[in-house]
Amino acid sequence: MANDAFAVSDARPSAVSNGALADPFSPPADSSLWRKNFLLGAATASYQIEGAVNEDGRLPSIWDTFSAKPGKVLAGDTGAVACDHYHRWEADIELLASLGLEGYRLSIAWPRVMDAAGLPNRKGLDFYKRLLNRLKEKGMTTSVTLYHWDLPQHLEDRGGWLNRDTAYRFADYADLMSRELAGTVDAWATLNEPWCSAYLGYGNGHHAPGLADGRFATQAMHHLLLAHGLAIPVLRANDPASQKGIVANIGRGTANSDSAADQRAAHLFEVQHNAWILDPLLKGAYPQDLFELWPGTEPLVLDGDMQTISAPLDFLGINYYFRTNVASDGAHGFRDVPLEGVERTQMGWEVHPDGLRDLLIGFNRTYRNLPPIYITENGMASDDKVIDGHVDDTQRISFLKRHLAAVDQAIKAGVDIRGYFLWSLMDNFEWAFGYERRFGVVHVDYSTQKRTVKRSAELVAKFLKERKAQA
């Protein structure tokens, strides 16, 4: 199972400059972004920003354990302090609101709100109640993800996502959260990026819990999707007014040549990246090609599971970052063939907005029951520096502009896309890459916790102000 884009390496990507880099952020007059009901927001995730990992009864998560192991995270960084959002949440919400952003996507740390016996941890719950109430006071649309990778360690100790029981524990957790937080959440997403949880967590070991076996990846995926499917009716029963969905990261695979073998390789790349998740959710079956790519990895599926997993959704969250160029590996798979001379980000990821447009249009054709879409993450990392109190993140401004244009093109081609969340509100703990990779539209100085609004955020705020002022 090869997917090099997620391998931790110190190698510095070459950012190739592009003529559009200096352009300010401003969508053209005919862009759907000017529609007031197109939601523009920002996203974060609990482990990446909260810190306070030992406070108020929070239990350890798999990311506390994983990041403590030498060599797993760049520079030995951990989420122990992160952006100290657990203590600074009020100022962070003020900042979010001051930018005029209309939506906020956050995640709940499961180990903060439930103990090992499944009983509520009131102090942890109160944190999210205060946070969500304040967001509602500010008029914000709230999008809450239940699982953004911080599995309680006690569940991993019993097999984590390899243990079917974890899916039932997740449904209990979804039950508690939706009973406690009903009325403050506009949209519930069960899982963030099951591809990353299953593939990076259990398939190649780049993420927590760090296991590496193809059969583990497909079984973990099945239990993740089952967890999602079990949670949906629970969320519907407890909080009927809210929207329910899931967030998937999607990957564009392009063929290195016109040869049939390379075309097949690109197809297989997208099967394992997209259809592996979207087919069970939207067609109620795993794509058979997946098991040609990864022979012998069929998960154990019990009667009724696929019906549970394919319960109708109110929305599908889509996270998009880059494309991968591939060729046949000469056997039954693909290998990455990084393109030369293309624009890349601090992550080494290629900037390829057309990939987002093409995938969205493709899904709209492939899945007749495709739910309304929110782009729940899109953004890029750059080595941003504060100079004289300012951060001039020119590449990000251009990146956002081009990706929003791609979203607009998909809308014009008939895809029902209702909103877009920037990844991320602020620089944060970027998983295996620690604090070095800066994805925020707000800069964080980790030694002082000072926040500095980057130029990209100023321009988005300016646009939102203009949009609001329009008749």
Active-site residue list: 193, 377
Determine, following the binding rule CB under 6 A, whether residue 249 of this chain makes contact with ligand FCB.
yes
Determine, following the binding rule CB under 6 A, whether residue 217 of this chain makes contact with ligand FCB.
no
Q: Which stretch binds ligand FCB (CB under 6 A): 120-128, 175-183, 408-416, 423-431?
A: 423-431
Q: How far is the CB of 50 from ligand FCB (least distance, A)?
A: 13
Question: Residue 30 is encoded by which pair of tokens?
Answer: 């005919």
Alpha-carbon span 58 to 109, nearest angstrom? 9
Q: Are 102 and 464 in contact (CB under 8 A)?
A: yes
Alpha-carbon span 141 to 187, nearest angstrom? 8
Binding mask 139-178 for ligand FCB (x = CB under 6 A): ----------------------------------------
Q: Which residue in the set 121, 319, 395, 398 belongs to the binding site for ligand FCB (CB under 6 A)?
A: 319
Q: Which stretch binds ligand FCB (CB under 6 A): 53-61, 157-165, 171-179, 190-198?
A: 190-198
Determine, following the binding rule CB under 6 A, whether residue 431 of this chain makes contact with ligand FCB.
yes
67 versus 319: smaller Cβ distance to ligand FCB? 319
Backbone phi, then psi, for 270, in 5-degree steps? -75, -30
145 versus 238: smaller Cβ distance to ligand FCB? 145
Determine, following the binding rule CB under 6 A, whether residue 423 of this chain makes contact with ligand FCB.
yes
Determine, following the binding rule CB under 6 A, whether residue 73 of this chain makes contact with ligand FCB.
no
Sign of CA dihedral 277, 282, 284, 286: negative
> For 367-428, where are the alpha helices, taking DSSP H only?
394-412
Q: Which residue in the set 141, 192, 204, 378 belongs to the binding site for ligand FCB (CB under 6 A)?
A: 192
Q: At what angle do helices 214-238 and 165-181 cross, to 10 degrees?
A: 30
How far are the Cα atoms of 179, 214, 220, 236, 315 from residue 226, in angstroms, in the given order? 21, 19, 10, 16, 18
Sign of CA dihedral 163, 164, 166, 169: negative
92 versus 377: smaller Cβ distance to ligand FCB? 377
Alpha-carbon span 70 to 72, nearest angstrom? 6
Determine, following the binding rule CB under 6 A, whether residue 243 of this chain makes contact with ligand FCB.
no
Q: Which stretch binds ligand FCB (CB under 6 A): 14-22, 85-93, 169-177, 188-196?
A: 188-196
Question: Residue 343 is encoded by which pair of tokens?
Answer: 């624009």
Determine, following the binding rule CB under 6 A, whether residue 63 of this chain makes contact with ligand FCB.
no
How would you label 53-91 residue by residue, b for 16+ Cβ within 10 Å and e otherwise? beeeebbbbbbbbbbeeeebbbeebbbebbbbbbebbee
Question: Residue 4 is encoded by which pair of tokens?
Answer: 């090099």
156 versus 430: smaller Cβ distance to ligand FCB? 430
Q: Which stretch binds ligand FCB (CB under 6 A): 13-21, 61-69, 189-197, 290-298?
A: 189-197
248 versus 306: smaller Cβ distance to ligand FCB? 248
Determine, following the binding rule CB under 6 A, whether residue 439 of this chain makes contact with ligand FCB.
yes
Q: How far is the CB of 293 from ligand FCB (least distance, A)?
A: 21
Backbone phi, then psi, for 306, in 5-degree steps? -70, -30
Nearest to 64 by CA among 156, 177, 146, 199: 156
45 versus 82: smaller Cβ distance to ligand FCB? 45
Q: Which stretch binds ligand FCB (CB under 6 A): 114-122, 192-200, 227-235, 268-276?
A: 192-200
Q: How far is the CB of 318 from ligand FCB (least distance, A)?
A: 11
Determine, following the binding rule CB under 6 A, whether residue 363 of this chain makes contact with ligand FCB.
no
431 versus 463: smaller Cβ distance to ligand FCB? 431
Determine, following the binding rule CB under 6 A, whether residue 427 of this chain makes contact with ligand FCB.
no
161 versus 431: smaller Cβ distance to ligand FCB? 431
234 versus 281: smaller Cβ distance to ligand FCB? 281
CB-facing half-sphere around the CA of 184: CA atoms within 13 A: 20
Backbone phi, then psi, for 178, in 5-degree steps? -75, -25
Backbone phi, then psi, for 70, in 5-degree steps? -55, 135
Binding mask 29-48 for ligand FCB (x = CB under 6 A): ----------------x--x
Determine, following the binding rule CB under 6 A, whether residue 432 of this chain makes contact with ligand FCB.
no
Question: Residue 312 is encoded by which pair of tokens?
Answer: 């109708």
For residue 335, the cross-strand partners are 327
Q: Which stretch binds ligand FCB (CB under 6 A): 129-137, 191-199, 295-303, 410-418?
A: 191-199
Q: Any residues with CB less than 8 A from the CB of 125 and at least 6 apart, and which? A: 113, 180
Q: By rule CB under 6 A, what count of residues binds ligand FCB?
A: 12
Determine, following the binding rule CB under 6 A, whether residue 377 of this chain makes contact with ligand FCB.
yes
For residue 144, the cross-strand partners are 106, 188
Alpha-carbon span 321 to 15, nearest angstrom? 15
Determine, following the binding rule CB under 6 A, whether residue 430 of this chain makes contact with ligand FCB.
yes
Q: How far is the CB of 320 from ligand FCB (least distance, A)?
A: 10
Alpha-carbon span 324 to 2, nearest angstrom? 12
Alpha-carbon span 354 to 28, nearest angstrom? 17
For residue 152, the cross-strand partners are 61
Residues contributing to the site for ligand FCB (CB under 6 A): 45, 48, 192-193, 196, 249, 319, 377, 423, 430-431, 439
